């Protein structure tokens, strides 16, 4: 089995660099990741994957940057991963699971930013992590993960007397709601307060809803335009409100966080990790 690889992969100067494959290489996030790899001193692009119907299949993965890398975008997952140490995947649940099956066979680690997994699919990913190390997080941004830590602290201090609402906004093309980041915020706060998010989450309100359950965590979703990602958690008490907000203006924050996850995986052969592990926030 052969694949098209970057000359940088085999050059002496880059022998120690981590070889990274990108799934969804022609998409918005895929291109941001490829650009981050180009600017990295210790990671190099080694493979680029996309769906068979993509018009980018066969083209050079860095053509959009105005130069050639020697890495062609392919729909052949095995060929695209043949020279990689780590796959970064921000695609769809079904696609990610298909990629992980090949990663498992080839011994390739993974950084997963895909959201919308079912519990059964998360269990499949955990099983893969017993063979190859995986970092999975709904948001790879360093700032978002610091925000999650702040929410954990706030929820412990305001577990009673405050109503909690999570408001998130994303671009019109996002297909899952609430966002994976919003759900992670809810999970972190629920756990900090000794609650189960599945039991206390309220995702819809319409008509005569009755009074608010003080133990609930509410979610509101906004979709429109080109919003990269805004998340606000409101703690509403009597006489005061506290808002903790994170706003993304560029996907570059997700790309840089993903590369930090790649570097973290260099020290781990197996295991399931998240960005709290990567950033030392646990």
Please, which residues have CB within 8 angstroms of residue 48's CB and are 6 or more apart in sequence?
21, 22, 25, 30, 34, 61, 71, 72, 73, 74, 80
Q: Which of 67, 149, 156, 170 is catalytic?
A: 170
Asked if residues 231 and 166 have their Cβ atoms less than 8 Å apart, the reply is yes
Closest CA to 262 of 161, 157, 113: 113
Structure tokens at 23: 């799934």
Please say whether the beta carbons of 208 and 201 come within 8 A.
no
Cross-strand pairs, 203:
none
> How far apart are alpha carbons 126 and 114 in whole angstroms?
14
Respond yes or no: is residue 170 known to be catalytic: yes
Determine which one of 122, 156, 173, 174 is catalytic.
174
What is the Cα–Cα distance from 22 to 111, expressed in whole angstroms? 10
Q: Report the candidate in 56, 58, 50, 68 with the shortest Cα–Cα distance to residue 7.
A: 68
> Three-state SS for 234?
strand
Is residue 208 flagged as an active site residue? no
Helices 180-192 and 142-157, interaxial angle, to 10°? Answer: 30
| Catalytic site positions | 170, 174
């Amino acid at each position: 089995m052969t694949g098209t690889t970057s000359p940088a992969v085999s050059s002496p100067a880059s022998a120690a660099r981590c070889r990274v494959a990108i799934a969804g290489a022609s998409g918005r996030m895929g291109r941001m990741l490829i650009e981050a790899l180009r600017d990295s001193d210790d990671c190099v692009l080694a493979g680029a994957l996309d769906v068979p119907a993509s018009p980018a299949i066969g083209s050079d993965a860095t053509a959009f940057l105005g130069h050639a890398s020697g890495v062609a975008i392919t729909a052949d997952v095995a060929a695209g991963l043949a020279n990689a140490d780590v796959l970064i995947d921000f695609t769809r649940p079904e696609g990610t699971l298909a990629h992980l099956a090949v990663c498992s066979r080839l011994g390739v680690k993974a950084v997963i930013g895909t959201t919308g997994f079912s519990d059964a699919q998360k269990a499949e990913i955990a099983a893969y992590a017993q063979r190859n190390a995986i970092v999975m997080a709904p948001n790879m941004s360093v700032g978002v993960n610091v925000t999650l830590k702040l929410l954990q602290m706030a929820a412990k201090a305001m577990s009673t007397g405050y109503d909690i609402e999570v408001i998130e906004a994303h671009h019109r093309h996002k297909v899952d709601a609430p966002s994976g980041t919003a759900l992670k915020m809810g999970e972190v706060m629920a756990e900090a307060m000794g609650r189960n998010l599945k039991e206390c989450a309220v995702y819809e309100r319409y008509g005569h809803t009755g009074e608010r359950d003080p133990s609930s965590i509410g979610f509101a979703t906004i979709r429109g335009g080109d919003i990269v990602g805004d998340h606000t958690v409101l703690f509403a008490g009597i006489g005061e409100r506290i808002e903790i907000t994170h706003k993304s203006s560029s996907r570059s924050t997700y790309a840089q966080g993903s590369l930090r996850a790649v570097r973290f995986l260099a020290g781990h052969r197996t295991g399931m990790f998240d960005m709290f592990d990567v950033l030392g926030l646990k």
